[in-house]
Amino acid sequence: MTVEGVTVTVHPAGGLWGSEVPAALAALRERHPGCEAAVIGPAGERLVPFASVVNNRGRSLGRGGLGAVMGSKRLKAVVVLPDGPRRPPVADPERLDFVVYEATKLLKANPVTSTALPEFGTAVLVNVLNQAGALPTRNHRETQFEGAARISGEALKRGYVSRRAACRGCPIGCARRTRAGDESGEGPEYETVWAFGAECGVDDLEAILHANYACNRAGLDTITMGVTIACAMELAGEGLLPGGPRFGDAAAVVALTRATAAGEGLGELLQEGSARLAARLGRPELSMSVKGLELPAYDPRGMKAQGLGYATSNRGGCHLRANMVGPEILGIPKMVDRFATLGKAGLLINLQDLNAVLDSLSVCKFTAFAMKEDYFARLLGAVWGEPVEPQELLLSGERIWNLERLFNLTAGFRRGDDTLPPRLLREPPPSGPSAGQTVDLDPMLDEYYVSRGWDAGGRPTPGKLARLGLAGLPAGHPALAAALGGEAAPAAGNGVAKGGAR
Amino acid sequence: MSAGGGTGGPDSAILEQFRRVGRDLFLAGAVSSHGGNLSVRLGDRIAITRRGAMLAHLEPRDVVVTGLEENDANVLLASTEVNVHRAVYRATAAQAIVHAHPPYTIARSLVCDEIVPVDSEGSYLLHKVPVVHAELTAGSAEVAALLERWLREYDVVVLRGHGPFAIGHLLEEAYQLVSVLEATCRILHLADALRAAGHEVREYRKGSDRYTEW
């Protein structure tokens, strides 16, 4: 599919179909010089549920299987031609320059965005999370990994980074280009290092890089791939997967990733993800996933509100909807007690709502390590040429979050789905700073629902829907009305609400 | 009534936050013996300091939990400003509010309609702080209406002659704004004195002439 101005044209994929991501991107860039492109690889074509979409700058839409959605449409690539859509007009460019200058000052003054991410990339978190006892290890059986230093951001920088990279216009520059043996490419990011590393008990960074490159070529989500292999390792250890991999087997991690990319051998089983794999072998509780999406690299037993974030994330186990690593580990905006069960729901909700807005604005979440919501409101206000209140921005995020929740409710999700793998609720880590900790989720959920203005079943109340300007939705969607308890909420009075909503 | 009473909330954790901030505010001279008030939001309830509580010496009985939308018996004990806090919570995503009476901030509010820092820390964190005024400065509907409007756009606002109201996701965040603002106002006062004594106060910040537009 090409996009040129407002013209969208669908073309036969021809020889592109079946090609790996780098080859497809190279062919498209040769065919359309100067274009920007996003493609799926063979995994997306085969509808692997955790297939990703990769753009020509090497960045991936990794989570949730969007690559399989494109594959199901038999859509190989979206290509925006050079004389395609232009930047939206900026109503007040002088003010935009002013706010950008002030925002850049903050990014340059903050050690996370000015030093740690530029120097080490996201993998800088390996040692930090390990020291905190929040680095999930061996399918979340432990929360500290004895090999962390060997797979850390520091080790990556020392041995494998060929150059830094940045998204267009970004002053942070967290991306890495790496080389390992005769392979090179984008990444790995922190989550990838962890998923193929600590989660699999592997401390061989070069093997992790090769597994990462295999995912990049095939178009696979590295988090789900690594966590699924870790699940297979535990299942094999339990004798349920004869001939399966064992924790610490670096060669197996690379081989299984490549086998999954090709859909061959044990890869045929792994390509369904850990939830289906564990269920098929009779041990569903060994899948470290929420709502079927594998968890990322922060163990909730060492970061309790992160667990609440996973449980309530609308797309399942995900750190991108709200990452409590800021307040629970890094002290951003302020340090909170990471082991405390209650008192953090409001903070999590603010992050969820802000991130929903940042996703809609296509703004990198890392900027929020340094900038508060008022900066984003002022940036948007300069583009629009009219003031945007920070609270209005957060309200938009809250509306997005609730709309997603309503979608999930209609799809049959209920309070019982807002949960974590049983291991995190009942099995304390054996050692380290988080030893003895489990997640007491129910009271956290109660506090969260009340703070969201939802009922005890996790359903937005009519009053909440009215304040969000969504009161009319149930009446037009019988399945939603039924999910909300069979009662349609009162009709909206004045369309989209403005002002505070919680 | 104690913090978290009837909410299942973390009594001791909330009280500890209140104690730390309350004590610091008093020791910094930002409140008099019985002045100022603090609150945090707990879902559909708020925990707020008791009317007449001594912020430097908060005990469990000094933090009252009451409804955000509705009154209950605890409103008898709550801070005079409880309705102002409620209005702000309803209008914003704030999770915490700090109100204090720091003298340099109050003095500055008597002579200007907005406070624009000249120091580096204040410039980074504040850029500009609006000063608003009301005839009835304590706990009135007029103050509530003013603050719910202005705190939608700014995280700290000064009520002329009365003091700053600051919001945050955490109590510590709101406290920081009050603290930085007072430091900013002290520096403004000193800079004014130096200027009056004939010294040139030099600008070192690019674009600071636009801070009034923040």
The CA-to-CA distance between both ends of chain B, in Å, stands at: 42
What is the pLDDT at residue A55? 95
Q: Mind listing the pLDDT tens digit for each residue in B3-30?
A: 444 443 346 888 999 999 999 999 999 9
* CB atoms closer than 10 angstroms to residue A124: 22
Q: Mind listing the pLDDT tens digit for each residue in A351-366?
A: 999 999 999 999 999 9
Please report, for chain B, the start and end positions of each structural domain, with discontinuous segments joined by +: 11-213
Chain A neighbors of B67, CB-CB under 8 A: none
Which residue from B14, B43, B90 is facing A447, i.e. has the nearest CB? B43
Residues in chain A: 502
What is the pLDDT at residue A355? 97
Which residue from A98, A106, A374 is facing B124, i.e. has the nearest CB? A106
What is the pLDDT at residue A168? 83
A104 occurs within a structural domain:
no
Task: Find the mean pLDDT for residues A205-233.
Answer: 98
What is the pLDDT at residue A437? 98
Lookup: tokens for B24:
């610091």
* CB atoms closer than 10 angstroms to residue A288: 27
Burial of A41 (0-12, 13-18, 19+ CB in 10 A): buried
Q: For chain A, give the mean pLDDT.
A: 94
Cβ atoms of residues A472 and A491 within 8 Å? yes
∠ CA B10-A288-A328, rounded to 5°: 35
Same domain (yes/no): A41, A135? no
Cβ atoms of residues A380 and A393 within 8 Å? yes
CA–CA dist A142, A136 (Å, integer): 6
Among chain A residues, CA nearest to B15: A343
User: b or e along A163-181 (b: 16 or more beta carbons within 10 Å of the residue's beta carbon)?
Assistant: eebeeeebebebbbebebe
φ/ψ (deg, to 5) at A415: -50, -40
A501 occurs within a structural domain:
no
Strands B129-132 and B114-115: antiparallel
Q: Mind listing the pLDDT tens digit for each residue in B90-117?
A: 999 999 999 999 999 999 999 999 999 9
What is the pLDDT at residue A421? 98
The residue segments making up the domain with residue A34 are 2-80
Q: How many domains, in total, are found in chain A? A: 3
Chain A neighbors of B95, CB-CB under 8 A: 346-347, 350
φ/ψ (deg, to 5) at A216: -60, -40
CA–CA dist A272, A301 (Å, integer): 27
Q: Is the pLDDT of residue A208 over 90?
A: yes
Mutation test of the interface with chain A: which of B15, B169, B175, choosing the one with the most A Cβ atoms within 10 A? B169
Cβ atoms of residues A272 and A289 within 8 Å? no
Chain B residues at the A interface, defined by Cβ less than 8 Å, are 8-10, 13-14, 41-44, 89-93, 95, 124, 127, 148, 152-155, 168-170, 172-173, 176, 206-207, 210, 213-214
Same domain (yes/no): A310, A422? yes
Residue with tokens 């936050």: B17
A433 occurs within a structural domain:
yes
Whole-number CA gyration radius for chain B: 17
Q: Mind listing the pLDDT tens digit for each residue in A258-287?
A: 999 999 999 999 999 999 999 999 999 999
CA–CA dist A209, A188 (Å, integer): 6
Q: What is the largest CA-CA distance in chain B?
A: 61
* CB atoms closer than 10 angstroms to residue B120: 12
A35 occurs within a structural domain:
yes
CATH number at residue A197: 1.10.569.10
- A85 pLDDT band, cuts 50/70/90, is low
Residue A345 sits at the chain B interface (C-beta within 8 Å): yes
CA–CA dist A162, B145 (Å, integer): 57
Residue A394 sits at the chain B interface (C-beta within 8 Å): yes
A114 occurs within a structural domain:
no
Helix (H, G, I), strand (E, B) or coil at B37: strand
Torsion of CA B5, B7, B9, B14, to 10 degrees: -50
Q: Mind listing the pLDDT tens digit for each residue in B137-173?
A: 888 889 999 999 999 999 999 999 999 999 999 999 9
Task: Find the mean pLDDT for residues B170-193.
Answer: 97
Lookup: tokens for B2:
């104690």
Lookup: tokens for A197:
């590393």
Chain A nearest CA to B199, separation (Å): 28
At the fourth CATH level, the homologous superfamily of domain B11-213 is Class II aldolase/adducin N-terminal domain (3.40.225.10)
Q: Mind listing the pLDDT tens digit for each residue in A90-141?
A: 999 999 999 999 999 999 999 999 999 999 999 999 999 999 999 999 999 9
HSE-up (13 A, CA, CB side) for residue A187: 27
Residue A370 sits at the chain B interface (C-beta within 8 Å): no
Which residue from A337, A374, A390 is facing B13, i.e. has the nearest CB? A337
Mutation test of the interface with chain A: which of B152, B171, B212, choosing the one with the most A Cβ atoms within 10 A? B152
Nearest to B23 by CA among B9, B12, B8, B33: B33
Torsion of CA A391, A394, A400, A403, to 10 degrees: -60
Same domain (yes/no): A316, A288? no
Amino acid at B175: Y
CA–CA dist A340, A328 (Å, integer): 10
CA–CA dist A382, A371 (Å, integer): 16
Across the interface, whether the CB atoms of B153 and A333 are under 8 A apart is answered: no
A70 occurs within a structural domain:
yes
Strands (E), A356-462: none
Amino acid at A353: D
Between chain A and chain B, the number of residue pairs with CB atoms below 8 A apart is 91
Chain B nearest CA to A277, separation (Å): 39
Same domain (yes/no): A312, A284? no
Angle at which helices A304-312 and A441-452 pack, to 10 degrees? 60
* Alpha helices (H) along A238-319: 250-262, 267-270, 274-280, 304-312
Across the interface, whether the CB atoms of A500 and B41 are under 8 A apart is answered: no
A493 occurs within a structural domain:
no
Whole-number CA gyration radius for chain A: 23
Residue A346 sits at the chain B interface (C-beta within 8 Å): yes
A184 occurs within a structural domain:
yes
ipTM of the complex: 0.86
Nearest to A485 by CA among A464, A463, A459: A459
Residue A343 sits at the chain B interface (C-beta within 8 Å): yes
Same domain (yes/no): A240, A137? yes
Measured CA to CA in angstroms, residue A187 lies from A37, A148, A153, A486, B49 at distances of 19, 17, 11, 48, 50
Mutation test of the interface with chain B: which of A95, A96, A110, A342, choosing the one with the most B Cβ atoms within 10 A? A342
